[in-house]
Structure 1
Amino acid sequence: MAAAADGAGAGGLEVVVFPWLAFGHMIPFLELSKRLAARGHAVAFVSTPRNLARLPPVPAHLSARIRFVALPLPAVEGLPEGAEATSDLPPDKVELLKKAMDGLAGPLASLLADAVAAGRRPDWIILDFCHHWVPPIADQHKVPCAALLFFHAASMAFIGPRWANDAHPRTKPEDFTVPPKWIPFPSTTVFLHHEARRMLADNFGENASGRSDTDRLWDVFERCRLTIHRSCRELEPGMFTLLSELLRKPAVPAGILLPGATDDRDEDDWQSSSGGVLRWLDDQPPKSVVYVALGSEAPLTLENIHELALGLELAGVRFLWALRRPADTNNKQELLPAGFEERTRARGLVCTGWVPQVKVLAHGATAAFLTHCGWGSTIESFAFGLPLVMLPFLTDTPMIARAMAERGIGVQVARDESDGSFDKHGVAEAVRRVMVDGQGKEVFATNAKKLKELVVDEGRQEQYIHELEEHLRRYKEARSSTSTS
């Protein structure tokens, strides 16, 4: 970690950051790294070789303070060769990636031991939700840990710490359709029955990695000195006080950590992999296109894709669709309904390659975002004041969708409450409400613009980084005074 140490400067912190192997996590971790480096701190950014090669470049004036540390990913049976991020995998293989990542415990321990032996003990390790094995290693070297969490803060309160779940067990789906007993105020961040079944299975159930996501998260909650959240008080008032009480340690908002459009990978990458989607957008009228992207892990079926396609066709609007092949299909199967692309060619583009999402959302032709409501995608929509058509599937996304609907910035696609299914008519109706229907369209657009003005304020966001920096410094100073007394 010599390069990082050299860039620290007098009084600067030395921080190791270690995100989960998903670009929706790595990019915001990199954004935090840049903001810390801009304040004179040194950062060692840890990931696997292929992931580091795919990150956007760091601005030249920060490069002396950010060092990239590659830890080769161990082979795991069933994990395709070269797969180092969730975007390289179908959703059913992601748990194997967690198993492979767990195999980095030894290399990380060696990295820390070498740094300590050379007199460069890091001040902090900032880790992700699934790195339950990092704090015990850090403890051996007297390095404190903080968790940077990229989930809706309200969903973290809904999951709750281990002690609260032990006091008020939730063992069946019905338990997740009502607010937990440890949330002391009225809450709509609960699940419908079909969402609760998936929540229980996906988050609390065992998986191929050998450990449930919730067990990992609970260990991280308990072993870290503080938790850091990609959110802000303007978005989630009162939530950080509640989380601090529940977790019995500071829950610190870091702001929305929005990367610039120039950070959305490089020009050659999007031109070669997405067929020039930005050039297609250049040819569309202003504020005329709905951008459709449901993330890399939404459990879409072929039937879901067909209903979504037919719904877009029925809606009659221009669209750009970033479409990922579902895990249960093979490369010979046609993804789209027969004749769909021919019928919609004059007003729609379907891209099965990589799409530069931030650039698309920033484009003047984009009028709305049909999204799964992942927190990262939702935050990116705030930056450009875009109203939302919402089709949530996993984890915290149903809560986020309801919270955004309450703010009046979009509508959810109608779902069957028993099984979560949707059809083309529900898709078309939701898209038309946001894109076409006069007064309603204006209300959604106005509310989205107001939210942008509230949240996307660089001075306010820098204040959040300053407050986080103060928390990190305060602990460092307390530790130093204790060690020298």
Structure 2
Amino acid sequence: MAEAASSSPLHIVVFPWLAFGHMIPFLELSKRLARRGHAVTFVSTPRNAARLRAVPPELSVRLRVVTLDLPVVEGLPEGAESTADVSPEKVPLLKAAFDGLAAPFSALVGERGGGEADGVFDRKPGWIILDLIPCAMFLILPAALLAYIGPKHENEAHPRRTTEDFMAQPPWIPFPTTTIFHLRHEAMSRASEFQPNASGVADADRLWQVHHNSCRLIVHRSCPEAEPWLFPLLSNLFSKPVVPAGLLLPTDIAAGDVTGDDEPFEAAARWLDRQPRRSVAYVALGTEAPVTAAHIVELARGLELSGVRFLWALRTPAIAAGELLPDGFERRVAGRGVVVPGWVPQVRVLGHAAVGAFVTHCGWGSTVESLFMFGLPLVMLPFVFDQGLNARAMAARGVGVEVARDDDGSFSGEDVAAAVRRVMVDEEGEELARNAQELQRVVGDRARDEQYVDELLEYLQRCNVAFWRLAKWGNSLHLAPSGPSEMRDITRVTL
């Protein structure tokens, strides 16, 4: 039976958090697992499934998308199914709605067979891969963030109570670093993640609950080439395997993009085609950074003062972009700067020959797509989550410049202009570009990226053999639990 388990294709259920920065790499991992002959059920909500690019026809037999309707939560806008649909202060309500999917998800996991795809999905899952739910936790964030958060027992032994505590390198990292710390405005935001939010649960507690109660394996969208020395440290800290899945670089120029309305972008695309090679700074601050009207005004001032060509993806769901930009801004930068409100195919833009740098919030997904995939130097404007840690790490590797900030996180147009010119105009920019290209050659090796997926699958299959040998209910051995109660029990089996 153990030999059969190791050679049989796995059925893997994949269920990411409702943010496109999570769903896109989860879908990329799902495609790679399906290409290797395994059956993958990708779970999301109806609107998100419709906005993600369709499953390639050649994978449709092995990869299916199943949707669960998001429960209604008071205060959550109608039709909001992702973080792209809500303002930052309403994200905790989205988490509460996501928690409401526990029962339908448990029912889905307990079902046998998929109906429309006979045979391939006609068995219960051997693994479930999720953000913050059992059994294998797939973190699309860098390993450095997990090291900063640390396990619960270390946080209890070394409580962080003040802003200054959150600005310091954690004491459980046993050697000095120049990257794993937060600036004051980042530390103030980080402290709130350790307190209950509108969902009723602190973000840190979500991670710790999974770690203590159910998680057998922690998987990162990362690799040792991108984050040296962290994986052995994390395995020791969390007392369980912490393994890389690779960077999951999009397999084609459009694979990392969500479907959207192409029409508003086409004029910008034609403009981009006319620009000289490596002359344009692409500007985008993601979908979850808490960007204020004041930030947009100063960023606009900085782009104008820099004198550099730019293409700005300005996502402002609540207010029209024209109402936020300084009076006359688009007229004054006409010809050398383009503002695109709403959706932009980011990977397509980053891969364009005219783009020479990326003005970014330094989210991990954007860092992977711009620096590790295309070797673009960065102008970094981090806000929350892992973004500050990523910025420190990339600055230390000589591939980007961080915009100067005050303690409250504010910045001026002059600060933006200075950072943009350092990367795009000054002599320093040539060295940054060379460093970025060299890092891309090392970290962006596609063969090595695929190898990490192969090694992850090998690990999953070895663990499945152990389940066959050790997981026993009644008089029979079977590969996966038959329901939620057995799902909880199986996680306590010592491998």
The 3 A distance-change label for structure 1 pair 245 and 10 is closer
Offset at residue 422 of structure 1 (A):
0.6
The 3 A distance-change label for structure 1 pair 376 and 236 is same
2:71 aligns to what? Answer: 74
Offset at residue 177 of structure 1 (A):
1.8
Q: Secondary structure of 1:154's partner?
A: helix
2:295 aligns to what? Answer: 304
2:41 aligns to what? Answer: 44
Report the Cα distance in structure 2 between the residues aligned to 1:377 and 1:44, rounded to whole angstroms: 26
AA of the residue aligned to 1:128: D
Offset at residue 302 of structure 1 (A):
1.2
Offset at residue 182 of structure 1 (A):
0.8
Among residues 92, 97, 113, which one is paired with 1:95 in the alignment? 92
Q: Secondary structure of 1:261's partner?
A: coil
* Range moving further from structure 2, 374-383 or 256-265: 256-265
AA of the residue aligned to 1:283: R
2:377 aligns to what? Answer: 387
Offset at residue 261 of structure 1 (A):
1.7
Offset at residue 285 of structure 1 (A):
1.5
Question: Is the Cα contact below 8 Å between 1:37 and 1:43 reproduced in 2?
Answer: yes
Q: Deviations over 1:283-337 (max 9, x none)?
A: 211111000001111111111111110110000010011112276xx45981100
The 3 A distance-change label for structure 1 pair 379 and 332 is closer
The 3 A distance-change label for structure 1 pair 333 and 415 is same
Question: Is the Cα contact below 8 Å between 1:392 and 1:398 reproduced in 2?
Answer: yes
Report the Cα distance in structure 2 between the residues aligned to 1:258 and 1:300, rounded to whole angstroms: 27
AA of the residue aligned to 1:434: V
Offset at residue 113 of structure 1 (A):
2.2
Q: Secondary structure of 1:15's partner?
A: strand
1:109 aligns to what? Answer: 106
1:340 aligns to what? Answer: 329
Question: Is the Cα contact below 8 Å between 2:6 and 2:462 reproduced in 1?
Answer: no
Does 2:286 match 1:295? yes
Report the Cα distance in structure 1 between the residues aligned to 2:431 and 2:184, rounded to whole angstroms: 30
Among residues 323, 348, 357, which one is paired with 2:314 in the alignment? 323
1:359 aligns to what? Answer: 348
Q: Secondary structure of 1:334's partner?
A: helix
The 3 A distance-change label for structure 1 pair 463 and 159 is same
Does 2:446 match 1:446? no
Percent of aligned pairs with the same residue?
59
Higher RCO (CA 8 Å, separation ≥ 6 residues)? 2
Report the Cα distance in structure 2 between the residues aligned to 1:270 and 1:287, rounded to whole angstroms: 26
1:413 aligns to what? Answer: 403
1:164 aligns to what? Answer: 154
The 3 A distance-change label for structure 1 pair 27 and 326 is closer
Offset at residue 195 of structure 1 (A):
1.7
The 3 A distance-change label for structure 1 pair 273 and 428 is same
Offset at residue 215 of structure 1 (A):
0.7
Offset at residue 9 of structure 1 (A):
12
Report the Cα distance in structure 2 between the residues aligned to 1:273 and 1:218, rounded to whole angstroms: 43
Report the TM-score, using the length of structure 1 for normalisation.
0.91
Q: Deviations over 1:260-279 (max 9, x none)?
A: 32224478x35235354322
2:129 aligns to what? Answer: 126
Q: Secondary structure of 2:323's partner?
A: coil
Q: Deviations over 1:2-48 (max 9, x none)?
A: xxxxxx99611110000001111111001100111111110000000
Report the Cα distance in structure 2 between the residues aligned to 1:279 and 1:271, rounded to whole angstroms: 12
Q: Secondary structure of 1:447's partner?
A: helix
Does 2:342 match 1:350? no
AA of the residue aligned to 2:324: L
Show the 5 A alignment for 1:428-467: 428-438=417-427, 440-467=428-455
Question: Is the Cα contact below 8 Å between 1:386 and 1:445 reproduced in 2?
Answer: yes
AA of the residue aligned to 1:312: L
Question: Is the Cα contact below 8 Å between 1:19 and 1:46 reproduced in 2?
Answer: yes
Report the Cα distance in structure 1 between the residues aligned to 2:355 and 2:275, rounded to whole angstroms: 9
Among residues 208, 221, 228, which one is paired with 2:219 in the alignment? 228
The 3 A distance-change label for structure 1 pair 305 and 152 is same
Q: Secondary structure of 1:233's partner?
A: coil
AA of the residue aligned to 2:163: P
Q: Secondary structure of 1:262's partner?
A: coil
AA of the residue aligned to 1:364: A
Q: Deviations over 1:167-202 (max 9, x none)?
A: 11111111112211110111221112222111102x
2:268 aligns to what? Answer: 277
Report the TM-score, using the length of structure 2 for normalisation.
0.89
1:149 aligns to what? Answer: 139
AA of the residue aligned to 1:49: P
Offset at residue 155 of structure 1 (A):
1.4
Question: Is the Cα contact below 8 Å between 1:274 and 1:353 reproduced in 2?
Answer: no
2:386 aligns to what? Answer: 396
* Range moving further from structure 2, 22-31 or 55-64: 55-64
1:12 aligns to what? Answer: 9
Gapped regions of structure 1 (runs ≥ 5): 1-7, 136-144
Q: Secondary structure of 1:175's partner?
A: helix
Gapped regions of structure 2 (runs ≥ 5): 115-120, 478-495
The 3 A distance-change label for structure 1 pair 16 and 170 is same
AA of the residue aligned to 1:108: F
1:479 aligns to what? Answer: 467
2:364 aligns to what? Answer: 375
- How many residue pairs get aligned? The number is 459
Question: Is the Cα contact below 8 Å between 2:317 and 2:342 reproduced in 1?
Answer: no
Report the Cα distance in structure 2 between the residues aligned to 1:333 and 1:383, rounded to whole angstroms: 32
Does 2:255 match 1:263? yes
Question: Is the Cα contact below 8 Å between 1:54 and 1:265 reproduced in 2?
Answer: no
Give RMSD over aligned pairs.
2.0
Among residues 247, 251, 261, which one is paired with 2:242 in the alignment? 251
Report the Cα distance in structure 2 between the residues aligned to 1:279 and 1:168, rounded to whole angstroms: 55
1:217 aligns to what? Answer: 207
Report the Cα distance in structure 2 between the residues aligned to 1:116 and 1:290, rounded to whole angstroms: 49
Question: Is the Cα contact below 8 Å between 2:163 and 2:191 reproduced in 1?
Answer: yes
Offset at residue 471 of structure 1 (A):
1.1
Report the Cα distance in structure 2 between the residues aligned to 1:235 and 1:205, rounded to whole angstroms: 31
Does 2:96 match 1:63? no
Q: Deviations over 1:140-163 (max 9, x none)?
A: xxxxx1010011211111100111
